[in-house]
Chains A and B, each alone.
Chain A
Amino acid sequence: MFDVVIAMLPVLAISIYFFGMGAIIVTLTAVVSCLAFEWLIQKYMLKQEPSITDGSALVTGILLAFNMPTNLPIGIIIIGSLVAIGVGKMSFGGLGNNPFNPALVGRVFLLISFPVQMTSWPVPTGFSNSYTDAVTGATPLGVMKEGIGAGESVSAIMDKIPSHMEMFYGHMGGSMGEIAAVALLLGFAYLLIRKVITWHIPISIIATIAIFTGILWMVNPEANADPLFHLLTGGILLGAIFMATDYVTSPMSIKGMWVYGIGIGVITVLIRVFGAYPEGVSFAILIMNAFVPLINMYIKPKRFGEIKND
């Protein structure tokens, strides 16, 4: 678990660089409240030996923070943490038994309950000490969605938003964990080197989205954004690398991981292109989380010496 925390450090660093104090406050609040809720629930409600030292609540806290704008009121952060730990994890029996990624449960709950606060994204201005009075704006993905909805052409919209290169380094509005592709990829490399995760889930998600949006883009480049734009925005990399790979809520076999990853990719694009929300990866992951028990039941690893029935 602590390797996951290390892998998230570059993301945290870039976030602090662009959003300043806000990033620190949001992360600390989420982490402290997740740890506190886990401890309190285990100790006083479930009367178990608290297991916060396993690092899982710490990871949930950071991930939850990564999914928030850096000017979110503290009260909302605490509510999100309570939902993530209390509902997303403990109500199912704690670590190992929860079907849904706890951080995503928290995020989606907030998105539905506090849609305005959850989608007013501070504009990255470089390190600042301001918190709630940050200048806010839409995310590139939001601008794109709205623009296409209003009938503008993609090339016209592109002029209004940061370039792909700027997005790659994180210079755009968005939640603190989604902005910097470069930091997310660094974390991905670390997770792979330390063998914390295998490449199958992230790559299958990324490849599916690239192919699916690529086809749409080639059909009509003026009505659909290019695949790279999709991959760099709206938390696809954050979701693919850090959220979809959560051990507890992802499949056990390699083949199962492919099915799961492709499913997340397809649902994400469907939501983005046809749905109401500009981004779709969190919903896609939660939907596929629900299918994991089924995937595990029917998609088995290849046995040694399996007799082929053909």
Chain B
Amino acid sequence: MLKTFPKGGVHPAEDKYSANNAIETLPLPKTVSIPIAQHIGAPSKPVVNKGDKVKVGDKIAESAGFVSANIHSSVSGIVVKVDNVMDSTGYKRPCVVIDVEGDEWNESIDRSTDLKKEISLTDKEIINKINESGIVGLGGATFPSHVKLSVPAGKRIDVLIINGVECEPYLTSDHRLMLEKAEEMLVGIQILMKALGVNSALIGIENNKPDAISHLDTLVKDYPGIKVHALKVQYPQGGEKQLIKALINREVPSGALPLDVGAVVHNVGTALAVYEAVQKNKPLFERVVTLTGKSVTKPSNFMVRIGTPVTDLVEAAGGLPEDTGKIINGGPMMGKAVNSLEIPVVKGTSGILIMPADLSKRKKESDCIRCAKCVSVCPQGLEPYLLNKLALLEKNDKLETGGVMDCIECGSCSYTCPAGLPLLDYIRLGKSRVSQIIRSRK
């Protein structure tokens, strides 16, 4: 029996159209807009001014605290402005805008492609390097990686968990990385193990990617301590808490972090970025983005420089289909609709999904019929129908006791509701109100 998490979950259609398409490097854009707030935590402080000349890999904005991240230029060229530009949230946010000239890399970056296996840095040096290189969780959460590696005194970590689940339908960027950059990723995992001082790492991959599982399984023989685990397909297994439960059967308490149960979770893409940063001195300025959708001519996985406008990706995949209904930043379950193609790719962009009009129509909404299906699919054991109602009524105290902060925003409830209620939309609203209230209490 394959392992999985025990409570709730759904099985949406996978629709991984781009799974067999190798990663292609997207041609350089003409301009990039690099937001200074593309991670969880404090927005970074720009360290360049209009008119400055930058190279690929130069730092352009500096981390503004412990929970924050450096940002590096993804191109070479001239800074044309440091100004507000619309990003994927639909709001204008400060960005560093650079006009591209050539492709000149910072000299300190090792551009060779040979695999460098020895890890010469110490644990402290590794964490510093990761911090320096602006690495954040690339699965989409964009939490600064060095923070997750800095284990507070008194906590003991005994296992590193690597998330190769990619449970969101449509998205394939992690899948491709596991096939094409497996060795680099495994070295990256060893670096993370060294930083954490653990001698065991588990890579969790859902059983719908047998090629990735068998590929990694043969390679890990040369990497002591790393094991590959095939998991039963079940959404949202990529949620940290669900993945930890599935792999090592530990339950992260409500309100606590994985490190409270001795585990740290990093995504496969992050492991690769760690390899590049530590072994090749290459900061995080590009990532793999899946551009996909049922009507997309050429569903693709692109290696994209951060700050590239989404429209470049759409063009490279054969243009915007005529029947486009909506464009989603991320996957269909957790992603959010965007209303412009000019938004830039950021560190957290794992995919752009183009939904045809007939699939983007919402189900007709009716009253809740109290079928309890949302309750039974919620992996966090919450009562989505109730949270939805409380959020609509703005009953913030009841929302809090109802566990709204435990919601991992997986969207299983909305997906399953036969009354067509957009439960997660309202729960998210309620959650952000409650989290503001909690913050103001401190």
Contacts and interface: CB of A to CB of B under 8 A. Distances in A.
Interface stretch (B104-112, B248-256, B302-310, B348-356): B248-256
Nearest to B378: A301
B385 interface: yes
A304 B369 contact: no
B262 interface: no
Contacts of B366: 51, 54, 95-96
A160 interface: no
Band of interface residues on A: 20 to 34
A243 to B, nearest CB: 15
Interface string A240-258: 0000000111111110000
Contacts of A253: 372, 375, 383
Nearest to A246: B370
A293 B372 CA distance: 13
A128 interface: no
Interface in A68-103: 93-97
A248 B251 CA distance: 32
Interface in A229-267: 247-254
Contacts of A95: 366-367, 369
Interface string B363-394: 00011111110011011111101100000000
Contact of A94 (B7, B245, B367, B419): B367
Contacts of A56: 369
Interface string B392-404: 0000000000010
A303 B369 contact: no
A42 interface: no
Given A247-B372, A252-B372, A96 B379 contact: no
Nearest to A300: B383
A56 B378 CA distance: 25
B266 interface: no
Interface string B246-271: 00000111111000000000000000
A247 to B, nearest CB: 4
B148 interface: no
B376 to A, nearest CB: 7
Interface in A32-66: 51, 54, 56
Contacts of A248: 369-370
Interface of A: 51, 54, 56, 93-97, 198, 247-254, 296, 300-307
19 contacts: A56-B369, A95-B366, A96-B366, A96-B370, A198-B376, A247-B371, A248-B369, A249-B370, A252-B375, A253-B375, A300-B383, A301-B382, A303-B406, A304-B251, A304-B254, A304-B381, A305-B256, A306-B253, A306-B254
